[in-house]
Chains A and B, each alone.
Chain A
Amino acid sequence: MENMQAVNSFVAAYLKKKGFKEAEQLLEDLHSKDSAAPIDFHNDPDLAKFIHHFSQSEDEVARYQDGYSKLRSWTYSSLDLYKHELLRVLYPVFIHSFMDLVAKGHLQEARTFFNAFHEDHQLMHSRDLQKLEGVLSQSHLEEMEFARSLRQNKVNVKICQYSYDLLLQYLHKTQSSAMLGVINEHINFQATSGQPGSISDDIEVVTLIGSCQDAANQINQKEIHWGLLEDSLEERSEKEGGLLSDSEKTEGENKEGDAEESKKRSAEGGKQGSSTKKLKKDKAVNATAKSTRLEAKTTSSAPRVKPELTLPIMSTEVEQSILEDLRNRVQLSSIALPSVSFYTFLDTHNGLNCSSISHDGSLVAGGFSDSSLKVWDTAKLGQQTGGATLQGENDSTSSEHVVRPNGVKRSYTLFQGHSGPVYSATFSPLGDFILSSSADTTIRLWSTKLNANLVCYKGHNYPVWDVQFSPVGHYFASASHDRTARIWAMDRIQPLRVMAGHLSDVDCVQWHANCNYIATGSSDRTVRLWDVQSGECVRIFIGHRSMILSLAMSPDGRYMASGDEDGTIMTWDLSSGRCVTPLMGHTSCVWTLAFSCEGTLLASGSADCTVKLWDVTTSTKAPRNEEKSGNPNRLRSLKTLPTKSTPVYSLQFSRRNLLFAAGVLSKKV
């Protein structure tokens, strides 16, 4: 603008001085424009900007439309080798051209432009397009967060040097200043030397909000300790091996063996330890299980970490029972698939919002849109099906049944207290407490022993979408529409930490196995990892194309899986912050994910009425061995278990590796 004014003032002065020779002046003007064109715009942004604005004075609307359609046809007709790289440029150019048009007030033209070309990008960016389609005036651009962040940031596009040159040559040759302007203003090319990249690994190639990516990269540099807690029960059970003798002794031993010992153990590597363990366990486990075990051992030897939270103390009986479970655990692998017990909710009249299964599968909870929370004792399910008339007879258990005014007993325990749809429920690890979160902005703690509401936690200002107990109990995390995630302790009615940073709703939350981190999935299509102690964001995982609905952490603490609205599941390496493999297969929302207890399998439940089992060992560990060479084996869907028109709402591996699943029978329309 300033340049333009300078020229104008200069021309005005010249005219004033001479009084005539307008034609000559015009010629000169044109000449200056022509001479400016060949200059490399990227080396001289000022000049490019000048020319860009100069061009705007003409009928720019047609230029956008024209320029874009020409660029598009040029891209589509380019050499196959470079085509997919050049195609990456189209989408940012498209959305920014559209927003430029809107910003300049050409609303009608913007709409026609949008309608003409949006189908090209529908496949990849349907959600963004949906949002942008509604933008109809300048004020909307200002108001809409998504549009604003797009406008304020440059798009990063990775492209090889040759493609970049090709593009520049084309732009120069065709003089399409509108396109040039858009590209110059909004796209930041990261030209790489060498061959053009392959089509497949395009996750981070185009990042719409460049600065966000930078920030993420920066954040992802931070160190995290994903190792398991020292002195965990699993460790203890491994240590004690086949011995069924007094756990007290091992406990004492463990307390002595502090950080030093754990360091030593990690230093000497899993190999020795596992071999000795192998000897001990020979009689207990069969050959296949052994080998997988061995593999798991060698890879999961990460430094143990100390808990940053004061952990609740476990009673010895509970400890004993958990140890018992661990000893009886079925070893799962790609050839030894789990058994799945499915709980089907019937006659919910479309009211079931969420379900949850306790760790031992003995209790099933359902949160309903009529504000109620209902808990079923699965041990009594058989009796019910035996006949409703029988219910009158089992008076011994009547204390657990709520008796309605008219004396009819229900098959479940009804928890009433919320004043809005219940969106999430979670059982404490021991199954004695339930937490439920609701649209009424509160979280409530219920006791399954007393069948009563104990605490109401108020803190969020908007509906609480998700709540999760920590693996050790006592602490829990919540995720809300108010864009924060919060950490709570059962004995405090105020949150201990507030995690703010997501750009949109926080939709789901999950604890890390060592309780020092929580992961949150959001509608801004990122997953973040937060340090519980400091409340800082320590990782940002970018790659999903739609809202994240479910999260799961591998029991060895190294990997995380996240499922989104489109049915994509991504597995992430926490230490690097990179996606290990996208797992494609589901066709609809992935409502729930669960890792098996030794981390070899990932189970996913989806709205497409299937439970899928994925082999995580091959998908995560193969690339390291052969470094991208063995592509076909990288992602393995082991088994698809279709249900009978029952979308799967929740999955839970018991400590003995039995998989529980729950869903609601929905009639097909």
Chain B
Amino acid sequence: MSIVAKETIEVIAQSIGINNLSDDAALSLAPDVEYRMREIMQEAIQCMRHSRRTILTTDDVDGALNLRNVEPVYGFTSGGPLQFKRAIGHRDLFYIDDRDVDLKEVIEAPLPKAPLDTGVACHWLAIEGVQPAIPENAPVGVIAAPSNGNTHEQKDELPVDIRLPVKHVLSRELQLYFDKITELTLRKSDSALFKEALVSLATDSGLHPLVPYFTFFVADEVSRGLNDYSLLFALMRIVWSLLQNPHIHIEPYLHQLMPSVVTCLVSKKLGNRIADNHWELRDFTAKLVALICKRFGHVYNTLQTRLTKTLLNALLDPKRALTQHYGAIQGLAALGPNVVRLLILPNLEPYLRLLEPELLLEKQKNEMKRYEAWRVYGALLRAAGQGIYERLKIFPPLPSPPGHTIWKSKEKVVTAVPNKRKASMEPLEDEPALKKIATDGPIGSLALVTTLAPSGQNDAGQPSSSEKKTANRVGKDGQTLKKSAILNQIWKDDLNSGHTLVTLLELLGEGILSFIPSPEMSLFL
């Protein structure tokens, strides 16, 4: 009759030591128990209302018991909401999962972080009846978008960016555009139309409202379609195009895009057919990564470090597949020679040792594996080579008359205006160059300068010419000052690069030589 069953009363009676409660007593107690319980809950609701809440808590029940001079129920006030569990085999029976706590553990556990103290913040909810569009206010309610597939995506994805779910309104045209593009990506990514679509994505100015949808689309499809090579490539192309578009403000969505992009770079398996040229995809993605880092690295200064860390982890983990290593190497290489020099070269030797058995015909019988290994080796070679090339090609930035005066005055500049040096693109690289010239003696350097003068490099050429001017102005006075100290320092650098080159030679054999600009090679060899 009442929701409190007779059996409940009996159990409660037993729990407080009354074993022989008669049936009649239990039967007549049950409705009364229910009545009292309802009374207390009603008062608890009253307490809840006065605490300005709409969710009933155990505190309210305690408050209600307090009003009736009943001792509160202990043991339920701490912590968050109570976790009820369904009793197995019963439909409507729940119990509180109350685990035994080892007191020793509690005592030894580190103190939890102190909760933040209460504060008050002030903002304008409305100014003369109009709500300003500031983050403190709820986003202005817009007319709900027409219900179609998009609404689902809105709900799923937008809270990631903005704290509250916002209703976007997409025009019909944009919706159609989005649908079309996604369909093309999924179905006909090799058609000419898709290429047109990519161009449109890269140039059209009105696409910004679609960016969240595209990022979500890419993330979603990448996670689902790892086996579909052409899809992945199409998706990466979309990302590339979006990055190219000057009218799109993609920054806020980068953190959503990056995981998918990195996945396409270092995933173990991309595509499920052998014919799938996943190497190409990895190369492309590596370029993409480099582009992102170049464009947004200064805004998100953690972007590159995080990325390199991820890639390096992939590279240095011997358990990872060779394909993953390949992706990591390509990614790192694309990030520039500095990254290569700092991260790949130091690890080159141990890694090659690891790679070697895979390369040899007699040790690795699996054709496919060996092919992969050679691929990795090739990538490594290219990366190292590029790194060293970038370094060496900066040596000859002196397309100017007598090398002797130049390098002397230049050292002057080094000491006088270090800031300026830092500002230039590859400041430190210049020093070994000078040193080399210095140590090789005037004859050698002169020869070098003369040979390289016509083919002056753009990168280094510009700063050097400007420096030259200042150098000339500074004149030749005090040339000898500190010169010896600086020379020593530069010597060391030079030796280092010399050493790297030598180790590279040892490790990679002749292959590396093709990367070294011929004049420098002649210098070293």
Which residues of chain A have a CB within 8 Å of any CB of chain B? Answer: 107-108, 111, 130-131, 133-137, 139-140, 336-354, 364, 366, 368-369, 374, 376, 378, 381-382, 384-385, 410-412, 421, 423, 439, 462-463, 465, 481, 505, 507, 523, 547, 549, 565, 588-589, 591, 607, 609, 611, 613, 638-639, 641-645, 647, 649, 661, 664
Cα distance A340–B127 when bound, in Å?
Answer: 6
Task: Mark each residue of chain B from 48 to 62: 1 if its CB lies under 8 Å from any CB of chain A, else 0.
Answer: 011111100101000
Query: Does residue B256 face the partner (Cβ distance < 8 Å to A)?
Result: no
Find out whether the CB atom of A346 lies under 8 angstroms from the CB atom of B54: no
Find out whether the CB atom of A369 lies under 8 angstroms from the CB atom of B1: no
Find out whether the CB atom of A344 lies under 8 angstroms from the CB atom of B124: no
Find out whether the CB atom of B118 lies under 8 angstroms from the CB atom of A347: yes
Task: Known A346-B121, A462-B67; judge A423-B129 contact (CB<8 A).
Answer: no
Interface residues of B in 110-126 (CB under 8 A from A): 115-126
Find out whether the CB atom of A378 lies under 8 angstroms from the CB atom of B118: no
Interface residues of B in 27-80 (CB under 8 A from A): 28, 31-32, 34-35, 37-39, 42, 46, 49-54, 57, 59, 63, 66-67
Task: Known A369-B59, A641-B125; judge A344-B51 contact (CB<8 A).
Answer: no
Find out whether the CB atom of B2 lies under 8 angstroms from the CB atom of A349: no
Task: Say which residue of B52, B119, B124, B130 sits within 8 Å of A384 (CB atoms).
Answer: B119
A337: nearest chain-B partner, CB-CB: B129
Cα distance A354–B51 when bound, in Å?
Answer: 7
Cα distance A268–B4 when bound, in Å?
Answer: 70
Query: Does residue B179 face the partner (Cβ distance < 8 Å to A)?
Result: no
Main secondary structure of the interface of B (DSSP, over half): mixed
Interface residues of B in 477-505 (CB under 8 A from A): none
Cα distance A642–B126 when bound, in Å?
Answer: 10
Given contacts A338-B129, A341-B125, A343-B121, 20 further A-B contacts (CB under 8 A): A111-B2, A136-B1, A136-B31, A136-B35, A336-B128, A337-B129, A338-B128, A339-B128, A346-B120, A352-B118, A366-B118, A378-B120, A378-B122, A382-B122, A384-B119, A423-B50, A463-B50, A481-B67, A641-B125, A647-B52
Q: List 16 A-B contacts (CB under 8 A).
A: A340-B125, A341-B123, A341-B124, A342-B123, A342-B124, A342-B125, A343-B122, A346-B120, A439-B63, A505-B46, A507-B49, A523-B46, A591-B52, A613-B129, A642-B138, A643-B125
Quick one: which of A111, A134, A639, A641 has the most chain B CB within 10 A? A134
Task: Known A350-B53, A647-B52; judge A337-B121 contact (CB<8 A).
Answer: no
Cα distance A136–B396 when bound, in Å?
Answer: 101
Which residues of chain B have a CB within 8 Å of any CB of chain A? Answer: 1-2, 28, 31-32, 34-35, 37-39, 42, 46, 49-54, 57, 59, 63, 66-67, 115-131, 136-138, 141, 163-164
Within 8 Å CB of B115, what residues of A?
347, 349
Find out whether the CB atom of B34 lies under 8 angstroms from the CB atom of A134: yes
A378 → B minimal CB distance (Å): 6
Task: Say which residue of A340, A353, A366, A382 sits within 8 Å of B126 (CB atoms).
Answer: A340
Find out whether the CB atom of A337 lies under 8 angstroms from the CB atom of B120: no
Within 8 Å CB of A108, what residues of B?
1
Within 8 Å CB of A139, what residues of B?
32
Cα distance A384–B138 when bound, in Å?
Answer: 23
Within 8 Å CB of B67, what residues of A?
462-463, 481
Find out whether the CB atom of B51 lies under 8 angstroms from the CB atom of A423: yes
Cα distance A462–B120 when bound, in Å?
Answer: 31
Cα distance A421–B52 when bound, in Å?
Answer: 12
Interchain residue pairs A-B with the least CB separation, the first 9: A337-B129, A136-B31, A134-B38, A342-B125, A340-B125, A347-B116, A340-B126, A642-B138, A644-B138
Within 8 Å CB of B28, what residues of A?
137
Task: Known A352-B52, A421-B63, A589-B49; judge A346-B125 contact (CB<8 A).
Answer: no
Cα distance A641–B130 when bound, in Å?
Answer: 9
Cα distance A588–B48 when bound, in Å?
Answer: 14
Within 8 Å CB of A347, what residues of B?
115-119
Cα distance A551–B199 when bound, in Å?
Answer: 63
Find out whether the CB atom of A381 lies under 8 angstroms from the CB atom of B122: yes
Within 8 Å CB of A613, what residues of B?
129
Within 8 Å CB of A410, what residues of B?
117
Find out whether the CB atom of B126 lies under 8 angstroms from the CB atom of A644: no
A143 → B minimal CB distance (Å): 8
Task: Known A136-B1, A644-B137; judge A130-B49 contact (CB<8 A).
Answer: no
Find out whether the CB atom of B63 lies under 8 angstroms from the CB atom of A344: no
Find out whether the CB atom of B49 lies under 8 angstroms from the CB atom of A547: yes
B139: nearest chain-A partner, CB-CB: A644
Within 8 Å CB of A549, what residues of B?
49
Cα distance A385–B117 when bound, in Å?
Answer: 13
Cα distance A345–B116 when bound, in Å?
Answer: 12
B295 → A minimal CB distance (Å): 32
Task: Known A338-B128, A353-B51, A611-B125; judge A642-B31 contact (CB<8 A).
Answer: no
Find out whether the CB atom of A337 lies under 8 angstroms from the CB atom of B51: no
Within 8 Å CB of B125, what residues of A?
340-342, 611, 641, 643, 661
A390 → B minimal CB distance (Å): 14
Find out whether the CB atom of B42 lies under 8 angstroms from the CB atom of A130: yes
